[in-house]
Amino acid sequence: MATETRPAQATRPVSGGGERLPETVSATALDRAKKASHRARRRAQLRLSFISRPDIEAEAPPLARMLRGGRGGQVRLKLFLSYLWMQTSDRGTPLSYYAQSWAQLLDLDQPATTGARRINEAQAWLERHYFIAVKANPGHANVVTVLNETGDDSAYIAPGAAAKAHRATPEGLRHLYAQLSATLWTNGYIQLMTGAGLAMYLILLDQYRAAELTEPLHHVWISPKAFAARYDLSPDTRTKGINDLRDLGLLTFSRKPINPDDFDIERLRNVYTLHPGQLDQPAHRRPQKIKTSS
C-alpha cells in the first residue's frame, strides 16, 4: 500500500513563537469527519468530572492525566473525545475502524504509517488506563468499547441518560456534563487545536457549567491557584491553550479591574469569553501578536 502523506499546508508559528502549526485542516480530514458525522451524535457528551477534580485531595482529573506525555497526550485526548462523539446510544457503542481512518479524521501526518502508529499507541494507553476496552478482531480492525470517562473501569452510560435517571438526587451531580458540537470535528477545529488549546476549551466549558451555550456569554476568570487546584495543569499549558483558542477565533480576552469600586490601587486580571458560534465556520488559524498571561 502506498504511503499517504497529508498535503502540504501553510503554517505559521503559534502565538508567542515556538512550534509551527497548520492554518487550515486538510480536505481528507474534513471528508472523514463529514462521513463520521452520519454515525455520530449531533453533540458529544462529556462528564465534567473528566475535566476537573472535586477537591484538591483527589488525584489529577482524567484530562490532566491523559494530556501528560508530550504529543502522545494530544492524540489520546482527541481520539478519546472522538470515540465519545460516536456513542449514539446510552450504552457503550462498539466501534471497529482502522487506525488509518482515525489518523485521517484527526489529520495526522502520514496516516497510513506514522499516523496509524500514533493512533495505535494512543489506543493502547487508553486501554491500559481503563478508558476503553479493546477486543482483537483478526483480519479486521480492533473493536473498541468506551468505558466511563473517569477511568474507573466501569461500563459507559451516557451522562445525559445517567443524569436523568438520578435527577434531583446527590448521585445526579456526578453526571453533570458538557456537550461538544459535531462541528468541532466537521469544521476542522479539533484537528487544528493543540492539546493545550483543546484542554482549555474543555476547561472553559466546565467554567460555564451549561449543557448548551448560547451567545453572548459572560466572561470568566480563573485564578492561578484555583486553576492548579481544580485542573492540575501548568501555567504554561494555560497560556498556550488560551493563545490557541484566540488564534482560532474561539475566545477573546480582556483585562478587567479586580475591585472597580474600591479606592485601593487598581489591579487588573485577564478575563475570557468563549465564542461557541465560531464553530459553525470553517476553522482557520489567525495568529495574534499579543500574548496572554495569567
Q: Mind listing the pLDDT tens digit for each residue in 220-239?
A: 888 889 999 999 999 999 99
pLDDT of 18 > 80? The answer is no
Beta carbons within 10 angstroms of residue 252's beta carbon: 13
So what's the pLDDT on residue 294? 45
- Spatial CA neighbour of 284 closest among 108, 78, 25, 106: 25
What is the residue extent of each domain of the chain? 11-199
Q: What's the confidence (pLDDT) of residue 264?
A: 54
Q: Give the tens place of pLDDT for each residue, 50-107.
A: 999 988 788 999 999 999 866 789 999 999 999 999 999 999 999 999 999 999 999 9
